[in-house]
């Protein structure tokens, strides 16, 4: 099953490599990983999308918790949550037909064109992983994808629940 | 007034302030400043080893025999990488250790400078934590934190990497040693959750066929007294892992010996048939459980461990209790102290009758010979000549299992062995660490002709520091444990498991300035042991030629349940 695990950790050198190390060392999957400092600059919040059965996920959270730099770990998928991912995608727009088709989809997906060139558009699209996948598939069908880059998922629990020190 | 001193002086001073008495190390370019600071003082004694791996094993033996953190000091690059096997050994067995490694100057890090290796990176999967210290003023705090982390919670090794520029003797900085350590991200749980304690109590009271399964975590928690009280209250049989030997007296009537791959018949049988397993500081390792699918089908499992990640990792626990073994037992006892041990005895009478029947099988009996010395016989002689009260460090192989099975340890921290990593070459340096920690005591190494050659250079260190260690080498002219598996699984095809051109170990010992004794015949064994232990001041190397064909039994049968065992070359369960 797909899981989103959020980790609150010290914003210290080496902390990230320890977390990533546990995943490779113990053979856990990483589907995506997203990390940045929080509003408190001494802390970083990391979000990992992984998959595995309940036992594997339990071990992952325990092994994360065991790291000295880690303050808290939560499996967001255990409760209701919000998740978002962003993608920048550069697609070929070589003729009028491609341009209109791309723009139509940009509207439907509430995406945004960030850069326009004679032969391509660069688009920003935000949403769930599924939405981004769908948009990319559509782009592949209507035009050519030149390149794309995704941030990986980040997420928060709904309601009053929060991951705080 | 804040004292001013160099980074190098801070390192030594901080060691003194955390209470370090011994440092096992080897100098080199990146740590010359620290060595210079060591030269100027007497508070911390430095032990010069002959190989950095051995320094780590010495610090490890020191730690295992005392519970105190062992300390290693090495230079960057090869000095640091040489310690890795020793660090991994300590990590696998949760031994508190701090490794101070030199590093190239900060300005050179990342440039493939001379003797640069990324020590923090290399050691990452085998340490509890690590520090790369960036400023001299941070040295005292990094060192204080390293010792705190190493020896709290589930203990383990911690690396402190020290770039050469920050320990420069020519620059002085203010020295402030932290009065208190607190880490917001690190708070080990020591006391068990009350709800879980109550659940555990009700399972224990219901049990008709209980067994207590104790591991190294009970030693780390110094839980021997609590354990004895609990066991005698519950009247349950007690089995000990390879790592837990001695935490429950091996000669106690409730002791049923070691369990697992080479566990006793009675221990493995008792586990398999139990209706309740109380696991205390043990981790259901694959060398214990055999096939987890077939593991103890009737048992309700209570698992007490300080490390939540150890619980339900390989075997699902019905009642998980996170906490340190000593504290959790005390909590259990507040509910159990009303038990009448007479009544409890009656309640478990049928169970004990069954256990006694398994015991009657006498799985450790063996055939002696008039011409060949049997390894089991050597360990029994060793037990007799040391009154069962020596510190016994072991290497890895058949000799290790013979020692574990035939030497009944009555006290914790007496049996020193690499259980998790199984590191050949561990024994001699570990026994040296033990001897430094316990100067007047008998420190013995049980080893094999293969293992002893993996750190034999330390015989030189033993001479330098006058360590009167007793080396009991079970010489079978072979890598016995490998050979045993080849006999059993590979139709006796001994691929690279025998050693040609064995050195003359007696001459070798003498060349290093020690006493060597060769024993070839069973009739000589007793006298030779007497001579060996009469040498109070000197190291004795006993080269004992044993029967090469002997196998270690019992032995679990692969893919089977706990109690599927071979009991000899011809019998199985
Ligand atoms: C460093 C290392 N290399 C290889 C092994 C694999 N191994 C386990 S036991 C053994 C043989 C040990 O031989 P010896 O020390 O002579 O002891 P014996 O089994 O003969 O008592 C070997 C090679 C190991 N445990 N450690």
> What's the pLDDT tens digit per position in B133-188?
999 999 999 999 999 999 999 999 999 999 999 999 999 999 999 999 989 999 99
Strands, DSSP E only, in B145-248? 157-163, 173-175, 210-214, 238-240
* CATH architecture, range B194-360: 3-Layer(aba) Sandwich (3.40)
* Structural domain boundaries, residue A119: 82-150
DSSP 3-state of B198: helix
DSSP 3-state of B570: coil
* A68, A9: one domain: yes
Q: Indicate the residue among A79, A106, A122 that finishes a domain.
A: A79
Distance (Å) from the C-alpha of residue A146 to the closest C-alpha of chain B?
35
Q: Which residue has the tokens 């409890």?
A: B344
Residue of B4, B114, B384, B510 marked active site: B114
* A72, A92: one domain: no
> If you average pLDDT over residues A57-70, what whole number do you get?
95
Low-confidence ranges of chain B (pLDDT < 50): none
Q: What is the ipTM of this complex?
A: 0.92
Mean pLDDT rounded to a whole number for chain A: 95
The closest CB to that of A13, out of B132, B149, B186, belongs to B132
Rounded distance from Cα B59 to ligand 1 centre (Å): 22
Please indicate whether, in this complex, the C-beta atoms of B309 and A62 are within 8 angstroms of each other: yes
Angle between helices B375-385 and B525-534 (to 10 degrees): 40
Q: Could you give the angle at the alpha carbon of B422 between the alpha carbons of B280 and B69, nearest 5°?
A: 65
DSSP class of B518: E
Would you place residue A83 in the very low, low, confident or very high pLDDT band (cuts 50, 70, 90)?
Answer: very high
* Sign of the Cα pseudo-torsion (A25, A27, A33, A35, in order): negative
pLDDT digits (tens, 9 = 90+) for B82-119: 999 999 999 999 999 999 999 999 999 999 999 999 99
Per-residue pLDDT at B341: 83
DSSP 3-state of B147: helix
Checking if the pLDDT of A30 tops 90, the result is: yes
CATH code matching the domain that covers B375-552, chosen among 3.40.50.1820, 3.40.50.970, 3.30.530.20, 3.40.50.1100: 3.40.50.970
Please indicate whether, in this complex, the C-beta atoms of B312 and A165 are within 8 angstroms of each other: no
| Residue A40 in contact with partner chain B when CB distance is under 8 A | no
Number of neighbouring beta carbons within 10 Å of residue A2: 12
Q: Is it true that domain B3-175 has CATH number 3.40.50.970?
A: yes
Longest dimension (CA), chain B: 76
Q: How many domains does chain A have?
A: 2
**In a domain? residue A54:** yes
Per-residue pLDDT at B40: 86
Alpha helices in A67-165 (DSSP H): 96-108, 129-142
* Residue B324 · residue B344 · CB < 8 Å: no
Please indicate whether, in this complex, the C-beta atoms of A69 and B125 are within 8 angstroms of each other: no
CA-nearest of B83, B81, B64, B65 to B25 is: B83
Q: pTM to 2 decimals?
A: 0.97
Report the residue of chain B nearest A56, measured CA to CA.
B313
Q: Which residues of B touch A9 (CB under 8 A)?
A: 185
Q: Could you give the angle at the alpha carbon of B375 between the alpha carbons of B369 and B379, nearest 5°?
A: 115
CA-nearest of B219, B124, B320 to A21 is: B124
Distance (Å) from the C-alpha of residue A57 to the closest C-alpha of chain B?
11
The closest CB to that of B149, out of A17, A65, A68, belongs to A68
DSSP 3-state of B384: helix
Best mutation site among B373, B479, B552 for ligand 1 pocket (most ligand atoms within 8 Å of CB): B479
Report the residue of chain A nearest B119, measured CA to CA.
A14
* Residue positions counted in chain A: 165
Q: In chain B, what percentage of residues exceed pLDDT 70?
A: 100
Q: Could you give the angle at the alpha carbon of A91 between the alpha carbons of A89 and A94, nearest 5°?
A: 165
DSSP B42-92: SSSEEEE-SSHHHHHHHHHHHHHHHSSPEEEEE-STHHHHHTHHHHHHHHH
CATH number of residue A102's parent domain = 3.30.70.1150
Tokens linked to B382: 């060793």
């Amino acid at each position: 099953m797909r899981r989103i695990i959020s980790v609150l950790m010290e914003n210290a050198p080496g902390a990230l490599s320890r977390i990533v190390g546990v995943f490779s060392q113990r053979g856990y999957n990483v589907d995506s990983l997203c990390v940045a400092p929080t509003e408190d600059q001494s802390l970083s919040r990391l979000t990992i999308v992984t998959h595995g059965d309940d036992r594997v996920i339990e071990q992952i959270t325990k092994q994360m918790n065991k790291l000295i730099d880690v303050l808290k770990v939560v499996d967001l998928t255990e409760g209701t949550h919000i998740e978002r991912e962003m993608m920048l995608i550069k697609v070929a727009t070589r003729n009028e037909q491609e341009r209109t088709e791309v723009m139509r989809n940009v509207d439907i997906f509430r995406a945004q064109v960030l850069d326009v060139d004679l032969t391509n558009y660069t688009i920003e699209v935000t949403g769930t992983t599924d939405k981004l996948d769908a948009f990319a598939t559509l782009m592949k069908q209507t035009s050519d994808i030149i390149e794309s880059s995704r941030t990986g998922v980040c997420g928060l629990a709904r309601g009053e629940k929060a991951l705080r020190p | 007034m804040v004292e001013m001193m160099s980074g190098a002086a801070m390192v030594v001073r901080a060691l003194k302030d955390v209470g370090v008495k011994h440092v096992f190390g080897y100098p080199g370019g990146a740590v010359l400043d620290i060595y210079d600071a060591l030269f100027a003082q007497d508070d911390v004694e430095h032990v010069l080893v002959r190989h950095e791996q051995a320094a780590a094993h010495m610090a490890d033996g020191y730690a295992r025999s005392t519970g105190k953190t062992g300390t290693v000091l090495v230079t960057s690059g090869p000095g640091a990488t040489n310690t890795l096997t020793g660090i991994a050994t300590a990590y696998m067995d949760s031994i508190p250790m701090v490794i101070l490694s030199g590093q190239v100057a900060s300005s050179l890090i990342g440039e493939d400078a001379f003797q640069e290796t990324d020590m923090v990176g290399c050691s990452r999967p085998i340490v509890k934590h690590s520090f790369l210290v960036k400023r001299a003023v941070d040295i005292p705090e990094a060192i204080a934190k390293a010792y705190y982390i190493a020896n709290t919670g589930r203990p383990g090794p911690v690396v402190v990497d020290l770039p050469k520029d920050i320990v420069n003797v020519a620059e002085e900085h203010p020295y402030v040693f932290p009065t208190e350590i607190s880490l917001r991200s690190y708070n080990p749980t020591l006391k068990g959750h009350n709800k879980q304690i109550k659940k555990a109590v009700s399972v224990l009271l219901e049990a008709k066929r209980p067994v207590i399964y104790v591991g190294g975590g009970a030693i780390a928690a110094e839980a021997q007294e609590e354990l004895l009280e609990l066991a005698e209250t519950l009247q349950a049989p007690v089995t000990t892992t390879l790592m837990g030997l001695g935490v429950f007296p091996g000669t106690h009537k409730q002791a049923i010996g070691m369990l697992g791959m080479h566990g006793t018949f009675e221990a493995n049988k008792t586990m398999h048939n139990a209706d309740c397993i109380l696991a205390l500081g043990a981790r259901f390792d694959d060398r214990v459980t055999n096939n987890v699918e077939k593991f103890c089908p009737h048992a309700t499992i209570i698992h007490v461990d300080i490390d939540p990640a150890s619980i339900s990792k390989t075997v699902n626990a019905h009642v998980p209790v996170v906490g340190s073994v000593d504290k959790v037992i005390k909590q259990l006892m507040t509910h159990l102290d009303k038990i009448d041990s007479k009544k409890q005895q009656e309640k478990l009478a049928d169970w004990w009758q069954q256990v006694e029947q398994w015991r009657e099988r006498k799985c450790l009996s063996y055939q002696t010979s008039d011409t060949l010395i049997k390894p089991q016989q050597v360990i029994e002689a060793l037990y007799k000549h040391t009154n069962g009260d020596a510190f016994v460090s072991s290497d890895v192989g058949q000799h290790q299992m013979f020692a574990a099975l035939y030497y009944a340890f009555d006290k914790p921290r007496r049996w020193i062995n690499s259980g998790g990593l199984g590191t050949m070459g561990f024994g001699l340096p570990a026994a040296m660490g033990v001897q430094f920690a316990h100067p007047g005591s008998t420190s013995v190494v049980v080893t094999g002709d293969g293992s002893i050659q993996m750190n034999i250079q330390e015989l030189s260190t033993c001479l330098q520091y006058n360590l009167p260690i007793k080396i009991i080498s079970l010489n079978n002219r072979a890598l016995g444990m490998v050979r045993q598996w080849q006999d059993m699984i590979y139709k006796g095809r001994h691929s690279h498991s025998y050693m040609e051109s064995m050195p003359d170990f007696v001459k070798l010992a003498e060349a290093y300035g020690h006493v060597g004794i060769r024993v070839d015949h069973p009739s000589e064994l007793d006298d030779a042991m007497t001579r060996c232990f009469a040498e109070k001041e000197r190291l004795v190397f006993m080269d004992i030629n044993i029967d090469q064909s002997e196998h270690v039994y019992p032995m679990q049968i692969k893919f089977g349940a706990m109690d599927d065992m071979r009991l000899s070359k011809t019998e199985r369960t």
